[in-house]
């Protein structure tokens, strides 16, 4: 379904705005279809006063006026407005025992107004189950979900915001935005995530475990008050990242926020495993009973009653359910649009790896059908011996499925400082989890710090169309990273086309010198690899692991086809292709993966990273990693050129079981 075409009357409206000294920028629609309606000459503000529908928004208008936000909706900009009807406002007032809108405080009017507005255009056809990609004016995500009713014989799909506010009318397009009519006022929770979990009786067992281990206290933080930034630095475009050919608009996060995600078994899941209470879960963990036997081959963990000890098996069990970052259902991997355009599903499902509060890794994988799994492993991952399996999509390790907002009922799972998700099976670091993680871990650089998700730069929505945008970060306020005052760091997001894995990555400029903590991969021997894109505007970098240099400096201006590297494009001779791969690896290089494509499906230049001319992997070192030990990568510019870019695309940790496989490592 496509959006609607604005009529020629829009030109007259634009002229009025220009005369009024407003510059207009907007995405136009391109076809009149189904539930879309164009209100020519109307702004969001004038629509709310005269909607042309059966609903009245006068009380919401008054709230906007009291919050000094109504005038903004009548002028230049692009806004998505979720407009509660008068009836919805009346319900809210009755719940608060108020007689009229005038009885609301100014602060309440401000909160209601900002909750229902998003900068940018979002039609329902742009959305998937989960968070809308831009935050609202309160810097909170709104959740989109649907339900289907077939009782009448004809399927009826209903659309919701934050699960309970039904969209009575959707996708009404006006000159400066789009309006969706809601039957309820959206009221996000202001509780911390442990308190929100404790209010949900369906997960009372996990809630008890959370408090028994003391992990609830670790999640009662919201904002780093030490962080300050100049007001100009948060305005998109007032800060720029200078590339040789262009100045890319950039901005810093206004606040440094802390956030958490919990993956929680409903009580019935524990009961399916024979545990009726939190104490029975504890007993089974301590006694290593059945499915509750954790993976502890070296006997490092304690099994006593000191459940608040981070080395205790009960503590570790609960901590493995918790992430130190905000991850809504559709944010762990790439969006549905990028998945459909760039993923080669025959080889791999989209997947990412994140560190938990247990300081171990969790794998996230989204299937071709859009289902999110934890610690799932496809049958054709890693070993070449099973490349030709009859069903390459089959799971060798099923993992744990995460329920989408649509599947999770009406319970509000969105807290002030995070979100929790229901899961369908026991989540535990056991032997099957170890098997799922025994795979090549390709970690997009934008996943290496919780700050990249809590102060979003990873997959950040574009504020001004599709032009590449950079989210900059301040020295001393990026967890897992440290960098010098001469280092300029930011996440670049390219929404429509990119030679980078997942269409984003970290860019470093200046005389950079920075260090990043290597995520705590499972114990074993690994090849440590760096994914980059070569280019004439790049620099030269010396890489270190734990202060030991990884060979000679890497000149990122040298393309992989250069004789010094020796990459040859694949041909029809498979043995020759494989021989070239071996030659490259002997020199410390690899081609990019063939499981990821560069651009949109309708782009004639779409190709895989394996074939793309500047995509390569560099083998930094082979190193043994031991649980409990922390390792660091250091990257230092060794060229006197502050504009020489270091494009940190991804980090790849490849276990010996994969790179040393007798059949050879696959090309995915």
pLDDT tens digits for range 446-505: 999 999 999 988 887 665 554 567 889 999 999 999 999 999 999 988 777 788 999 888
What pLDDT does residue 462 have?
65
CB burial class (10 A; 0-12, 13-18, 19+) of residue 561? middle
pLDDT tens digits for range 399-408: 999 999 999 9
Of the segments 34-43, 233-242, 464-473, 635-644, which one has the largest average pLDDT value?
A: 635-644
Share of the chain above pLDDT 70, in %: 88
Q: What angle do CA 275, 432, 215 make, to 5 degrees?
A: 55
Q: How many CA atoms lie within 13 A of 197 on its CB side?
A: 32
Q: Copy the structure tokens of residue 290.
A: 């059945």
Residues in the chain: 668
pLDDT reading at 656 higher than 50:
yes
Dihedral of alpha carbons 474, 479, 480, 482, sign: positive
What pLDDT does residue 526 have?
97
pLDDT category at 17 given cuts 50, 70, 90 is: very low
Reduce the DSSP state of residue 578 to 3 states and report it.
helix
Q: Are strands 540-545 and 632-637 parallel, antiparallel or unpaired?
A: antiparallel
**End-to-end alpha-carbon separation of the chain, Å?**
33
Bridge partners of residue 301, in order along the sequence: none
pLDDT category at 31 given cuts 50, 70, 90 is: very low
Q: For residues 130 and 328, is the Cβ–Cβ distance under 8 A? A: yes
Q: Are strands 177-182 and 239-243 parallel, antiparallel or unpaired?
A: unpaired
Residue 422, number of CB atoms within 10 A of its CB? 22
Alpha-carbon 632 to chain mean position: 24
Reduce the DSSP state of residue 180 to 3 states and report it.
strand
Q: What is the mean pLDDT of the chain?
A: 88
C-alpha 577/C-alpha 335 separation (Å) is 32
Residue 370, number of CB atoms within 10 A of its CB? 15
pLDDT reading at 63 higher than 70:
yes
Work out the average pLDDT over 213-225: 97
C-alpha 431/C-alpha 297 separation (Å) is 9
Reduce the DSSP state of residue 577 to 3 states and report it.
helix
Q: Which of 326, 361, 141, 140 lies closest to 219, judged by CA? A: 326
pLDDT reading at 360 higher than 80:
yes
Q: What's the Cα-to-Cα distance from 441 to each of 288, 363, 364, 528, rounded to whole Å?
A: 29, 9, 11, 10
What pLDDT does residue 667 have?
92
Q: For residues 513 and 613, is the Cβ–Cβ distance under 8 A? A: no
Sheet containing strand 589-591, strands side by side: 441-444, 650-655, 524-533, 615-625, 589-591
What pLDDT does residue 208 have?
98
Main-chain dihedrals φ then ψ at residue 502, nearest 5 degrees: 65, 15
C-alpha 48/C-alpha 116 separation (Å) is 13
pTM: predicted TM-score of the whole model, two decimal places: 0.89
What DSSP element (H or E) covers 576? helix 574-586
- When comparing pLDDT for 642 and 249, which is higher? 642
pLDDT tens digits for range 507-520: 998 899 999 999 99
pLDDT tens digits for range 92-115: 999 999 999 999 999 999 999 999
Residues 90-113 as b or e (16 or more Cβ within 10 Å = b)? bebbeeeeeeebeebeeebbbbbb
Q: For residues 367 and 394, is the Cβ–Cβ distance under 8 A? A: no
What pLDDT does residue 246 have?
59
Q: Copy the structure tokens of residue 258.
A: 């802390």
Work out the average pLDDT over 600-624: 88
Q: Which of 473, 469, 472, 451 lies closest to 460, judged by CA? A: 469
C-alpha 166/C-alpha 558 separation (Å) is 55
What pLDDT does residue 7 have?
32
Q: What angle do CA 341, 342, 344 make, to 5 degrees?
A: 110
pLDDT reading at 319 higher than 70:
yes
Reduce the DSSP state of residue 44 to 3 states and report it.
helix
SS (H, E, C) 490-522: EEEECCCECCCHHHEEEEEEECCEEEEECCCCC
Residue 150, number of CB atoms within 10 A of its CB? 8
Work out the average pLDDT over 288-299: 92
pLDDT reading at 384 higher than 60:
no
Work out the average pLDDT over 428-455: 95
pLDDT tens digits for range 529-545: 999 999 998 999 999 99
Structural domains in the chain, sorted by start:
9-182 (2.30.180.10), 189-222+257-439 (2.30.180.10), 442-659 (no CATH)
C-alpha 356/C-alpha 532 separation (Å) is 26
pLDDT category at 243 given cuts 50, 70, 90 is: low
Q: For residues 445 and 648, is the Cβ–Cβ distance under 8 A? A: yes
What pLDDT does residue 467 have?
55
Alpha-carbon 426 to chain mean position: 24
What pLDDT does residue 237 have?
65
DSSP characters for 273-319? TT--SHHHHHHHHHTT-GGG----TT--SB-SS-TTSTTBHHHHHHH
What pLDDT does residue 145 have?
92
Q: What angle do CA 25, 29, 35 make, to 5 degrees?
A: 130
Residue 448, number of CB atoms within 10 A of its CB? 26
What pLDDT does residue 10 have?
34
pLDDT reading at 58 higher than 70:
yes
C-alpha 664/C-alpha 382 separation (Å) is 9
DSSP characters for 132-169? -SS-BTTS-PPEEEEEEE-TTSS-EEEEEETTTEEEEE
Work out the average pLDDT over 7-28: 32
Q: Which of 23-32, 216-225, 551-560 has the lowest mean pLDDT?
A: 23-32
């Amino acid at each position: 379904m496509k959006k609607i075409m604005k009529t020629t009357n829009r030109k007259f409206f634009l002229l009025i705005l220009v005369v009024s000294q407003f510059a207009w920028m907007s995405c136009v629609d391109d076809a009149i279809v189904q539930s879309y309606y164009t209100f020519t000459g109307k702004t969001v503000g004038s629509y709310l006063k005269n909607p042309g529908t059966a609903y009245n928004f006068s009380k919401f208008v008054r709230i906007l006026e009291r919050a000094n936000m109504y005038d903004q909706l009548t002028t230049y900009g692009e806004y998505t407005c979720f407009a509660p009807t008068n009836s919805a406002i009346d319900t809210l007032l009755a719940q608060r025992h108020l007689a009229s809108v005038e009885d609301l405080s100014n602060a309440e009017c401000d909160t209601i107004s900002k909750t229902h507005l998003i900068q940018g255009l979002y039609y329902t056809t742009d959305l998937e189950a989960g968070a809308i990609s831009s935050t609202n004016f309160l810097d909170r995500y709104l959740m989109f979900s649907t339900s289907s009713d077939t009782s009448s014989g004809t399927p009826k799909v209903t659309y919701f915001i934050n699960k309970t506010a039904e969209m009575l009318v959707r996708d009404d397009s006006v000159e400066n935005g789009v309006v969706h009519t809601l039957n309820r006022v959206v009221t996000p929770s202001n509780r911390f995530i442990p308190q929100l979990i404790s209010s949900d009786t369906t997960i009372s067992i996990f809630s008890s475990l959370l408090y028994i281990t003391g992990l609830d206290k670790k999640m009662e933080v919201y904002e780093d008050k030490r962080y300050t930034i100049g007001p100009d630095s948060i305005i998109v475009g007032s800060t720029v990242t200078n590339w040789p050919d262009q100045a890319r608009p950039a901005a810093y996060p206004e606040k440094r926020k802390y956030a958490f995600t919990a993956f929680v078994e409903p009580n019935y899941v524990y009961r399916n495993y024979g545990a009726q209470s939190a104490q029975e879960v504890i007993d089974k963990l301590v006694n290593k009973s059945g499915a509750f036997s954790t993976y502890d081959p070296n006997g490092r963990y304690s099994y006593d009653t000191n459940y608040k000890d981070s080395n205790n098996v009960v503590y570790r069990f609960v901590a493995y359910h918790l992430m130190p970052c905000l991850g809504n259902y559709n944010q762990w991997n790439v969006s549905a649009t990028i998945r459909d355009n760039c993923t080669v599903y025959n080889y791999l499902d989209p997947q990412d790896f994140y560190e938990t509060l247990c300081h171990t890794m969790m794998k996230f994988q989204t299937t071709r059908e859009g289902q999110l799994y934890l610690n799932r492993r496809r049958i054709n991952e890693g070993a070449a011996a099973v490349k030709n399996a009859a069903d390459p999509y089959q799971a060798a390790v099923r993992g744990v499925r995460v329920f989408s907002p649509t599947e999770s009922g009406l319970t509000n799972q969105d807290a002030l400082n995070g979100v929790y998700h229901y899961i369908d099976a026991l989540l535990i670091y056991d032997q099957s989890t170890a098997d799922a993680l025994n795979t090549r871990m390709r970690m997009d650089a934008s996943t290496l710090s919780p700050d990249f998700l809590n102060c979003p730069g990873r997959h950040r929505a574009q504020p001004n169309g599709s032009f590449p945008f950079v989210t900059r970060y301040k020295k001393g306020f990026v967890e897992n990273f440290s960098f010098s005052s001469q280092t300029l760091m930011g996440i670049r997001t390219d929404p429509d086309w990119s030679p980078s894995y997942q269409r984003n990555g970290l860019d470093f400029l200046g005389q950079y010198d920075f260090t990043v903590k290597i995520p705590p991969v499972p114990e074993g021997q690994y090849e440590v690899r760096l994914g980059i894109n070569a280019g004439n505007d790049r620099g030269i970098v010396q890489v270190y692991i734990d202060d030991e240099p990884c060979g000679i400096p890497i000149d990122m201006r040298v393309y992989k086809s250069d004789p010094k590297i020796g990459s040859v494009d694949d041909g029809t001779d498979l043995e020759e292709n494989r021989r070239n791969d071996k030659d490259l690896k002997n020199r410390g290089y690899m081609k990019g993966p063939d499981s990821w494509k560069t651009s949109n499906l309708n782009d004639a230049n779409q190709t895989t990273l394996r074939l793309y001319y500047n995509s390569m992997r560099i083998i930094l070192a082979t190193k043994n990693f031991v649980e409990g030990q922390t390792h660091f990568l250091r990257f230092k510019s060794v060229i006197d050129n502050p504009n020489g870019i270091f494009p940190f695309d991804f980090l790849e940790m490849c276990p010996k079981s994969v790179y040393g496989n007798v059949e050879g490592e696959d090309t995915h």
